[in-house]
């Protein structure tokens, strides 16, 4: 009798171990994509004959729909501050540079999708995000007189498919920020070299 109980107990333990092994084998690890850090340090610094550089955020995010910039892995305003820190350098003088962020928005618009039977078998683009940058850079003297300025805008859009996951949405938002900032960087550097030539070192 005792031997039979021991055999039964051993069999139950073996079955439990097999079940645990099967469950472990069925589990898959879902890893989120790594969002690269946005940086402009690989680009040469733009050095100016100014005593300091100040970044001013005139744009205030509503933090509610249809705006979504606050949901970006790197909000556009934060990307602009990083650009300013990485690329613009004060080399001394009495003048002051002001980097004024007038717009750093991203607005989501829902797109019309096919609601009939055919739409059940296709994946459509369900949303569009329109992102916009507007930045004014001024150089002023000690009295606040504007000596030179630039106004730069950049606009980009991206669509997102139906049933997009949170990690996929983050990747789309991050890609949008990167291409938007690349456009801004190119346009802004051209304007700086054209209008701030007398203050570049």
pLDDT band at 141 (very low <50, low <70, confident <90, very high): very high
pLDDT band at 12 (very low <50, low <70, confident <90, very high): very low
* 5 within a domain of the structure (yes/no): no
- 65 or 9, greater pLDDT: 65
* 175 within a domain of the structure (yes/no): yes
* Domain span at 56: 39-199
Those residues with Cβ within 8 angstroms of residue 117's Cβ, 6 or more apart along the chain or in another chain: none
* 9 within a domain of the structure (yes/no): no
- Tokens, residue 94: 């009495």
* 125 within a domain of the structure (yes/no): yes
**CA 67 to CA 171: how far, in whole Å?**
17
Predicted pLDDT at 32? 63
**103 neighbors 61 (Cβ within 8 angstroms):** no
Q: Measuring CA to CA, which residue among 135, 146, 134, 154 is closest to residue 196? A: 146
24-28, 71-75, 89-93: least confident range: 24-28
- CA dihedral of 159, 60, 62, 36, whole degrees rounded to 10: 40
Predicted pLDDT at 117? 52
* 137 within a domain of the structure (yes/no): yes
Residue 89's CATH number: 3.30.160
162-179 pLDDT, tens per residue?
A: 889 999 999 999 999 999
62-75 pLDDT, tens per residue?
A: 999 999 999 999 99
Predicted pLDDT at 57? 98
For residue 137, pLDDT beyond 90: yes
Predicted pLDDT at 24? 42
**CA 93 to CA 147: how far, in whole Å?**
14
101-125 pLDDT, tens per residue?
A: 999 999 999 998 776 555 455 667 8
Predicted TM-score (pTM) of the model is: 0.80
**CA 99 to CA 128: how far, in whole Å?**
29
* 105 within a domain of the structure (yes/no): yes
Predicted pLDDT at 112? 87
Number of domains present in the structure of the chain: 1
Predicted pLDDT at 34? 79
* 60 within a domain of the structure (yes/no): yes
**91 neighbors 201 (Cβ within 8 angstroms):** yes
- Tokens, residue 50: 């100014």
Those residues with Cβ within 8 angstroms of residue 145's Cβ, 6 or more apart along the chain or in another chain: none
* 189 within a domain of the structure (yes/no): yes
């Amino acid at each position: 009798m005792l031997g039979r109980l021991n055999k039964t107990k051993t069999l139950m333990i073996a079955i439990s171990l097999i079940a645990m092994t099967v469950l472990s084998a069925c589990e898959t690890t879902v890893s989120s994509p790594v969002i690269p850090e946005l940086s402009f340090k690989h680009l040469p610094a733009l050095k100016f004959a100014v005593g300091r550089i100040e970044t001013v955020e005139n744009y205030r995010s509503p933090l509610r729909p249809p705006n979504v910039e606050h949901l970006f892995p790197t909000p556009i305003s934060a990307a602009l501050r990083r650009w300013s820190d990485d690329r613009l350098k004060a080399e001394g003088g009495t003048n002051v540079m002001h980097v004024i962020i007038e717009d750093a928005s991203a607005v989501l618009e829902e797109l019309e999708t096919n609601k009939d039977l055919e739409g059940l078998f296709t994946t459509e683009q369900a949303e569009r995000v329109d992102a916009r940058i507007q930045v004014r850079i001024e150089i002023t003297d000690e009295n606040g007189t504007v000596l030179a300025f630039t106004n730069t805008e950049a606009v980009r859009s991206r669509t997102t498919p139906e049933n997009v996951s949170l990690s996929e949405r983050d990747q789309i938002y991050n890609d949008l920020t990167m291409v938007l900032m690349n456009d801004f960087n190119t346009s802004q550097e051209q304007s700086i070299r054209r209008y701030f030539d007398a203050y570049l070192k």
